[in-house]
């Protein structure tokens, strides 16, 4: 059976860990040639090796998504000799951590760092992905948001502002580029079970986070990747400008 994404190409930012890595693995398994981008080369190399060992095609490029030239270079690498970029999965980001501060007490430096990576980084990736996709007349972009993209989260001013901005960018770009055959969507992700998720957090904190999800658990990375693949595929061909909750009911409250 022909692979669903045979002959396609994708750029996945934040492709060395977590949701980004899971999305890269799933896209490659479906026949896509994947370029993973991120700051830590060793993690990117690990993702590429996993894909190659599974029979897929991948490469990596070091990229700081807050730096415009770095992002432009990463998109150029992803396009490569094929001359096309079918999918952009913008997963690079940093979390709000657990150092909760009310808005007036939130560090300006921390706020700026969050905006630079989570919001500016998404904007820059979209900017250069969209330019390429506009020239070819097709493409699908999936931005990775979170519950903090659509609801307030006490103590997380910077993270919440950045993630809300990601949804605004998603919707605006969907309107701007729908006529060009480009779809732009976002995933509203719940808490995802990655190796670092429990690091430095007490069992009580983790229990509270899990309890905030009505399904009574947090997600596995492949569950986010499944949603990414659907939004990239022709099975979602009439879906654009949406913020799709994949959050175990977290935002249903």
pLDDT score of 194 more than 90: no
Flag whether 206 is in a domain.
yes
Q: Identify whether 128 is a catalytic site residue.
A: no
Question: Per the domain annotation, does 161 fall within a domain?
Answer: yes
Average pLDDT, stretch 6-34? 97
**What is the predicted pLDDT for the residue at 200?**
63
Check which CATH number belongs to the domain holding 85 and give it: 3.40.50.720
Q: Which of 147, 119, 134 is nearest to 224 (CA)?
A: 147
Nearest to 167 by CA among 132, 119, 121, 124: 119
Does 91 reside within a domain? Answer: yes
Please indicate, yes or no, if residue 204 is contained in any of the structural domains: yes
pLDDT at 60: 98
- Say what the pLDDT of residue 205 is: 80
Q: Which residue out of 106, 128, 159, 177 is catalytically annotated?
A: 159
Whether residue 197 is predicted with pLDDT greater than 90 in this model: the reply is no
Tell me the mean pLDDT in the region 86-115. Answer: 91
Provide mean pLDDT across the span 45-60.
98
Q: What is the mean pLDDT of residues 153-157?
A: 92
Average pLDDT score over residue span 112-137: 97
148-157, 178-187, 193-202: which has the minimum mean pLDDT?
Answer: 193-202
Report the predicted TM-score, pTM, of the whole model to 2 decimal places. Answer: 0.96
> 192: pLDDT confidence band, cut at 50, 70 and 90?
very high
pLDDT reported for residue 199: 64
> Per-residue pLDDT averaged across 164-182, rounded?
98
Position 239 in a domain: yes
| Domain-located, residue 3 | no
Angstrom CA distances, 153 to 51, 80, 107, 148, 168, stand at 36, 40, 16, 6, 17
In the prediction, which pLDDT does 202 show? Answer: 78
Would residue 1 count as lying in a domain? Answer: no
Q: Which domain holds residue 166?
A: 9-252
Residue 2 lies inside a defined structural domain of this protein? no
Q: How many domains does the chain fold into?
A: 1
* Cα 234–Cα 238–Cα 240 angle in degrees, nearest 5: 105
Candidates 147, 179, 178; CA nearest to 164 is 147
């Amino acid at each position: 059976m022909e692979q669903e994404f045979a002959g396609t190409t994708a750029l996945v930012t934040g492709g060395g860990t977590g949701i980004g890595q899971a999305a890269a693995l799933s896209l490659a398994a479906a026949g896509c040639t994947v370029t993973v981008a991120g700051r830590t080369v060793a993690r990117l190399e690990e993702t590429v090796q996993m894909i190659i060992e599974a029979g897929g095609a991948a490469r990596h490029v070091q990229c700081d998504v807050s730096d415009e030239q770095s992002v432009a270079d990463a998109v150029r690498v992803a396009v490569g000799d094929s001359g096309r970029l079918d999918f952009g999965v913008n997963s690079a980001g940093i979390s709000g951590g657990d150092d909760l501060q009310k808005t007036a007490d939130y560090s300006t430096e921390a706020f700026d760092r969050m905006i630079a990576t989570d919001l500016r980084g998404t904007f820059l990736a979209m900017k250069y992905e969209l330019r390429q996709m506009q020239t070819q007349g097709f493409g699908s972009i999936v931005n990775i948001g979170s519950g903090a993209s659509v609801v307030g989260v006490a103590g997380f001013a910077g993270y919440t502002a950045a993630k809300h901005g990601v949804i605004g960018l998603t919707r605006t770009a969907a309107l701007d580029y729908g006529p060009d055959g480009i779809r732009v969507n976002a995933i509203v992700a719940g808490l995802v079970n990655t190796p670092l998720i429990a690091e430095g957090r007490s069992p009580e904190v983790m229990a509270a986070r899990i309890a905030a999800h009505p399904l009574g658990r947090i997600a596995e990375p492949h569950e986010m990747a499944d949603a990414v693949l659907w939004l990239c595929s022709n099975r979602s061909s009439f879906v654009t400008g949406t913020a799709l909750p994949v959050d175990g009911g977290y935002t249903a409250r």
